Amino acid sequence: MKKIQDYRFLVQLLCLILTAVSFSISFKFTLLLILTLTFFTGVFYCGWICPFGFIQDSFDHIGSAFGIKKRKVPKSLHRILKFSRYLIFLLLLLNLSDFIFTILKFDPRVNFLELISGNTVTIISILVVVFFSLVSVFFQRPFCNYLCVQGAKYGLLSLFRIFTIKRDDEKCIGCKKCERVCPMNIDITNSVNLRDPNCINCFQCISSCPIEKTLTFGKVGLSRPEKINFSKGIVIFSLILSLFIYYSTSKSHASGNDRQTITAEKVGGIASADIAKGIEDGTYNGSSKGYKGTVQVEVRVENEIIKSIDIVSYQDDIVWFNRAKDTVLSEIIKSQNTAVDAVAGATYSSSGIINAVSNALNNRDK
C-alpha cells in the first residue's frame, strides 16, 4: 500500500502534462468524467489530477527532503477556517461582489493553469504561485485547505459518495498516525465511513496506518433505511449534477435580439483613431477561441473609429463571459486599441473577445 504514494506522484505528473496539452482540445468529456468520478468515489481530482495540487505536494516533498517538519494549523482554528473555501464558493455563486474576483485573481491554481497553457500572466500572478508553493514546504496543501473554490465544489458533490475510506474500529489502536499525515487535517478517527468533503483521496492515511487493513478504500455497506436515504440523495444530486453539467458545458449563443452591443455613444470619451486608422467604413466580422469555444464579433468602423462591437455568438459560461464582455468591449472602444487588460477571473473569455476584435480588423472580412 505504501507504493501507492509513488503511483500517485506519477499520476499527478502525467496529469500535469495532460492538462498542459488539453488546452488545445475540448475538455467537456474530461469534465464529465471528473464530475461522475467525484460523485461516486470522492475528490480524486484534487489528490491525483490537479496540477497545482501536484506542485504543492512537490514542495511538500522538497521541504521533507531538507528535514523541514510540517506544521499543522491548530485543530480548533482549522475547524473554523476549513469552511472558508465554501464561503468563497457561496459568495461566488451569488456573484456578490468584486472582491471575490480580486481573490480569484490571486488564485494560484488558476494562475498556474494559465502559465502552463501558455497564456500571459502578470508578475503578481507568478508571485502568488510561488508564495503558495513555498508555504507548502511548511504546511501541507495550504491553498487546498482554505481557499480552493474548485475543491469546495467537488467536495460538496462528493458528500454522498458510495466508495470511500473505511476505518475498522475494532482493529484501530488509536495511534492517530493517519491524522498526523493527513494533508487536509481531517479527524479520521472520528468516523468509520469517511465522507468528509475536504478529503482529497490521497490515501496517505492508508499508507501510514501501522495496522494492516484497518483503513481501506471501498464501497460502504448501507442499512435499508440508509439505502432509501441514499436513493433520495442520488435523485437530488443527479438533478444538481445535471444542472451543474448543463451550466458548465452548455453552449450559450447570443443571436437576433439577444445580441449584445457596446457602442461608442454608450462608452463616451473615446480616444482618437488607433487600430482602426486607415480602415474604410464598414462592419467587419472576426472570431477567436474563448474559454470553451469560439467567440464571434462584428466591429463597425466609421471615420476610422470603432463605433460599436457586437457579440454575434459565443460558447462560454454566461456569468464569466458577461463579466469579461462589458469591461473588455468598453475598454477597446474607449482606447480604440485592442491592447487592453483581461478581466480578473475571466481571462480566457477576455482573450477570446480581444482576439476576435483584432482578427475582425486585421482580416477585414465584411
Binding stretches for ligand SF4 (CB under 6 A) = 165, 167, 172-178, 182-184, 186, 188-189, 194, 199-205, 209, 211, 214-215
Instruction: State which residue, 140 or 349, has the beta carbon closest to ligand SF4.
Output: 140
Helical spans, DSSP H, in 42-73: 44, 51-65
Residue 341 DSSP one-character state: P
The Cα 168–Cα 212 span in angstroms is 10
Identify the CA nearest to 132 among candidates 119, 141, 124: 141
- Cell numbers at residue 289, please? 477561441
Q: Which is nearer to ligand SF4, 146 or 284 (by Cβ)? A: 146
Rg for the chain, CA atoms, rounded: 24
Q: How far is the CB of 38 from ligand SF4 (least distance, A)?
A: 14
Minimal distance in Å, beta carbon 19 to ligand SF4?
21
Distance of closest approach, residue 191 Cβ to ligand SF4, in angstroms: 10
Q: Which is nearer to ligand SF4, 63 or 197 (CB)?
A: 197
CB of 151 to ligand SF4, least distance (A): 11
Distance from C-alpha of 140 to C-alpha of 55, rounded to nearest angstrom: 11
**Alpha-carbon span 315 to 176, nearest angstrom:** 49
**Grid coordinates of 23:** 488546452
Q: CB of 180: closest distance to ligand SF4 in angstroms?
A: 8
> Quick one: which H or E segment has residue 76?
helix 75-81
Nearest CB to ligand SF4, comparing residues 140 and 359: 140
Instruction: Look at residues 308, 281, 258 and name the one whose alpha carbon lies nearest to residue 366.
Output: 281
C-alpha distances (whole Å) from 304 to each of 220, 267, 272, 335, 366 are 68, 17, 9, 13, 15
For ligand SF4, the closer CB: 187 or 304? 187
Q: Which is nearer to ligand SF4, 209 or 346 (CB)?
A: 209
How far apart are CB 312 and ligand SF4 at their closest, in Å? 46
Q: Which is nearer to ligand SF4, 157 or 301 (CB)?
A: 157
Minimum CB separation from ligand SF4 for residue 177, in Å?
Answer: 4
The span from the CA of 117 to the CA of 343, in Å, is 17
